[in-house]
Structure 1
Amino acid sequence: MPDDPIVECVPNVSEGRDPAVIAALAAAVAAMPGVRLLHVDSGVDAHRTVFTFVGPPEPVGDAAIALGREVAARIDMRRQRGAHPRLGALDVCPFVPVRATSIERCARLARRVGATLAHDLGLPVYLYEAAAFDPTRRALPLLRRGEFEGLADRLRDPRFVPDFGPRLAHPTMGAAIVGARPFLIAWNLSLDTSDVDLARSIARRVRTSGQTTRERSGLARHPGLLPAVRAVGWGMPSYGHAQVSLNLLDVTVTPMHTAWRVVSEEAEAHGTRVIGSELIGLVPLEALRAAGRAAVAGGQDTPDAALVAAAVRSLRLDALGPFDSSRRVLEWAMDR
Structure 2
Amino acid sequence: MAANNPNSKEKKSVMQSVLLCCKLHISESRNREALESIQRAAKLDPETVIVNIFEDREYNRINYTLVSYVIHDATGTPIYCPLQQTVVAIAAAAYDGINLELHSGAHPRLGVVDDITVHPLAQASLDEAAWLAKRLAAEFGSRFRVPVYLYNDAHPTGKALDTIRRELGYYRPNLRGIQWAGWPHLESLPVKPDEGPDVVSRARGITMIGARAWVAMYNVPIMSTDVSAARRIAARVSARGGGLPAVQTLGLLHGEGTTEIACILLEPNQIGADHVQNRVEMLAAQEDLDVEKGYFTDFSPEMIIEKYMKLINAS
TM-score (norm 2): 0.82
1:94 paired to 2:117: yes
The match for 1:191 is: 222
Q: 2:40 aligns with which of 15, 27, 35?
A: 27
The match for 2:192 among 161, 168, 182 is 161
- Taking a change above 3 Å as real, the CA distance of residues 33 and 330 of structure 1, as seen in their structure-2 partners, is closer
Whether 1:175 and 2:206 are equivalent positions in the alignment is yes
Gap regions ≥5 residues in structure 2: 1-11, 71-80, 171-181, 311-315
Q: What residue identity is the alignment partner of 1:333?
A: K
Query: Residue 325 of structure 1 aligns with which residue?
Result: none
Counterpart residue type for residue 153 of structure 2: A
Partners of 2:301 and 2:20 in 1: CA distance? 14
Q: CA deviation at 1:53?
A: 0.9
Which amino acid letter does the alignment assign opposite residue 279 of structure 1?
F
Counting matched residue pairs gives 275
Tell me, in whole angstroms, the C-alpha distance in 1 between the residues paired with 2:247 and 2:282.
16
* Contact residue 90 and residue 175 of structure 1 kept, 8 A: yes
SS at match of 1:33: coil
Q: Which amino acid aligns with 1:234?
A: L
CA distance, structure 1, for counterparts of residue 157 and residue 90 of structure 2: 26
Cα deviation code 1:166-187 (max 9, x no counterpart): 1000231111111111111111
Which one scores higher on RCO, CA 8 angstroms, separation ≥ 6? 2
State the TM-score, normalized to the length of structure 1: 0.77
Q: How do residues 279-318 of structure 1 correspond to structure 2 at under 5 angstroms? A: 279-285=296-302
Are 1:61 and 2:84 matched, yes or no?
yes
The one of 254, 264, 268 aligned to 1:236: 254
Query: Residue 259 in 1 paired to residue 290 in 2?
Result: no
> Residues 151, 124 of structure 1: CA spacing in aligned structure 2 closer, same or farther, 3 A cutoff?
farther
Per-residue displacement from partner, 1:245-275 (whole Å, max 9, x unpaired)? 1111111221111111111111112111321
Amino acid at match of 1:253: Q
User: Larger % of helix: which?
Assistant: 1
Quick check: 1:138 aligned with 2:160? yes
Alpha-carbon shift at residue 232 of structure 1 (Å): 0.7
1:270 lines up with 2:244 in the alignment: no
Structure 1 runs of 4+ with >6 Å offset: none
Q: For 1:227, which of 227, 237, 245 is the aligned residue?
A: 245
Q: Structure 2 CA distance, aligned partners of 1:59 and 1:94?
A: 15
> What is the CA deviation profile of residues 145-202 of structure 1, one whole-angstrom value per residue up to 9, with x for unaligned ones?
32473464341x3xx1010111000231111111111111111101122221111110
Residue 80 (structure 1) aligned with residue 103 (structure 2): yes
The counterpart of 1:205, out of the listed 236, 245, 254, is 236
Q: By how many angstroms is 1:334 displaced? A: 2.5
Distance in 1 (CA, whole Å) between partners of 2:39 and 2:68 is: 15
Match of 1:308 in 2: none
Q: State the superposition RMSD in angstroms.
A: 1.8
- Measured in 2, the distance between the counterparts of 1:117 and 1:11 equals 13
Instruction: Answer whether contact 2:219 2:263 (CA < 8 A) is retained.
Output: yes
CA contact (8 A) 1:38 1:53 kept: yes
Whether contact under 8 Å (2:113, 2:207) holds in the other structure is yes
Structure 2 residue 65 is the aligned partner of structure 1 residue 42: no
CA distance in 2, matches of 1:41, 1:150: 25
Match of 1:248 in 2: 265
Q: Secondary structure at the match of 1:94?
A: strand
| Separation of aligned partners in 2, 1:192 and 1:186 | 20
Q: Cα offset for 1:120?
A: 0.6
Between the aligned partners of 2:277 and 2:132, the Cα distance in structure 1 is: 34
**Number of the residue aligned with 2:173:** none
1:149 partner letter: W
